[in-house]
Copies of this chain bind each other. A is one copy, B any other.
Amino acid sequence: MLTVPFGGAPIFTRSRALRPTGKVLPEHARSHNRSLVLQTLYTSGAQSRADLSRGTGLTRVTVSDLVAGLIAEGLVVELGQREHPRPGKPATLIDVDRAAFQIIGIDLSDHERFHGAVIDLHGAIVSRAELALGAATGEAALALVSDLVRRLIASTTTPLLGVGVGSPGVVDPHGVVTSAPNLGWSDVALQARLAEEFSLPVHVGNDANVAVLAEHGVTRHDDLLLVKIGHGVGAGLIVGGRPVIGGGFAAGEIGHVVVGTDGGPRCACGKHGCLEAWLAVPRLTAQLDAIGDDHRDAGSAREDILREAGRRLGIVLAPVVAALNLSEVVLSGPAELLEGALHGATVDTLRARTMAAHGRDLTLRMTEQAEDVVLRGAAVMVLSGELGVS
């Protein structure tokens, strides 16, 4: 804490409301505006420089100048004149050169195999690759990641914008995997090592945090939560349009929060009634398998299990949804488990346990990107990091 000259009186101790955020130079402003133009072009599609000027608020002159730079860099191309001309000089359409770059997305969240894909700037998946994890951990697992990236690089047909990785565990803002028990990683500088090895821009994030970026792209909401249900249970959060990482970089780690006040199954962590103990895929399938198909109420028994799981999820989410006034929650995981009874029970529970007025505004839906949420999110992370406003 810093001293204050005229001591004595109570003070606003180092008020963070006034929070130094670093100086801003003209070049920063320039790069911001450059990104603004690129973003507008990327999201709104091909258009003229004059359209961009109207869209961004910058003058036609400035837009022309910025666009010239982008064309020189090969990020933007002229597409020729607009098809259905209006009065006046015909517009020259320009667009992000979506065929010029590709992105590699890597998903390390699956327990059995690493997934990867080459994705183009449309978001289309150009090629895929997978590597079985086997029992590999530590350096061996790291080598598998390198291998996967190398294979994918071999299948690219254009220059690469960068590599994005969604990893389980806690990932710090520099792409160091602080801790990922399943992979036997602690303090692995994944970003630095891949960047070094492949001489490419690399971005690394937690799998759920990365996944929510992909969902953010397809929704109008700027506050959303994605719950990723697999071998474990994790969440990714966007609040006010910004990803939340957390002070200890462990935001979204809700798997070991205890649900309810009536006990529950014992969890691997030692506690009873953790969310993960209720909801993790192995746990659910084990319960469902135990029922079998033989006896006559099998169907309704299965539904009871899924409904109870959904209720438990709703119980944990209710305080978060209320505290953040979330407008959308997305579920990611095996559709055959999550859709239907589980989803329904979660919605009902959320409604019943939060203020009615706010509950009405809440959407709970399945991910729109199925198995590829993390892959796509990783690509969005690269897109944002390499082309976006910082």
Could you list which residues of chain A lie within 8 angstroms of chain B, going by C-beta atoms? Answer: 2-6, 9-26, 28-29, 32-33, 35-36, 38-40, 42-46, 56-58, 79, 95, 98, 120, 122-125, 213-214, 216-218, 221-223, 225, 235, 237, 239-242, 244-254, 256-262, 269, 271, 315-320, 322-327, 352-355, 358, 361, 376, 379-381, 383-384, 387-389
Residues of B within 8 A of A57 (CB): 22-23
Contact of A20 with B39 at beta-carbon distance under 8 Å, contacts A323-B251, A380-B15 already known: yes
A35 is contacted by which of B18, B26, B383 (Cβ under 8 Å)? B18
A375 CB → nearest B CB, Å: 12
Number of copies: 2
Q: Offer 28 A-B interface pairs, CB within 8 angstroms, sorted by A.
A: A5-B46, A9-B120, A11-B122, A13-B123, A15-B216, A16-B216, A18-B35, A18-B384, A19-B388, A23-B36, A23-B58, A24-B24, A24-B32, A26-B29, A223-B246, A245-B325, A247-B325, A248-B327, A251-B325, A252-B325, A254-B323, A257-B318, A257-B353, A261-B261, A261-B262, A261-B315, A269-B355, A271-B352
Q: Are A12 and B244 closer than 8 Å at their CB atoms?
A: no
Q: Is the CB of A241 within 8 A of B389?
A: no
Contact A4 B122 (CB under 8 A): yes
Main secondary structure, interface of A, reads loop
Task: With A56-B23, A319-B319 as known contacts, state yes or no: A260 contacts B258, CB within 8 Å.
Answer: no
A252 pairs with B323, CB closer than 8 A: yes
Residue contact A389 to B19, C-beta cutoff 8 Å: yes
Q: Quick one: closest B residue to A264, CB to CB?
A: B261
Roughly how many angstroms separate A278 CA and B139 CA in the complex, as a whole number?
A: 51
Q: A43 contacts B18, CB within 8 Å?
A: yes
Contacts of A358 in B (CB 8 A): 248, 250, 253
Complex formed: what's the CA distance from A248 to B98 in Å?
A: 36
Q: Which residue of B lies closest to A317 (CB)?
A: B319
Cβ of A124: which chain B residues have Cβ within 8 Å of it?
Answer: 9-11
Q: What CA separation (Å) do A57 and B24 show in the bound complex? A: 10
When the two chains form their complex, are residues A217 and B14 in contact, meaning their CB atoms are under 8 A apart?
Answer: yes
Question: Which of B15, B239, B256, B320 is within 8 Å of A42, CB to CB?
Answer: B15
Beyond A42-B15, A222-B16, A244-B324, whether A260 also contacts B260 by CB under 8 A is yes
Whether the pair B35, A29 counts as a contact (CB closer than 8 A) is no
Among residues of B, the one whose C-beta sits closest to the C-beta of A389 is B21
Decide if A43 touches B14 in the complex (CB within 8 Å): yes
Give bound CA distance, A376 to B85, whole Å.
60
Most buried by B among A3, A46, A352, A353: A353
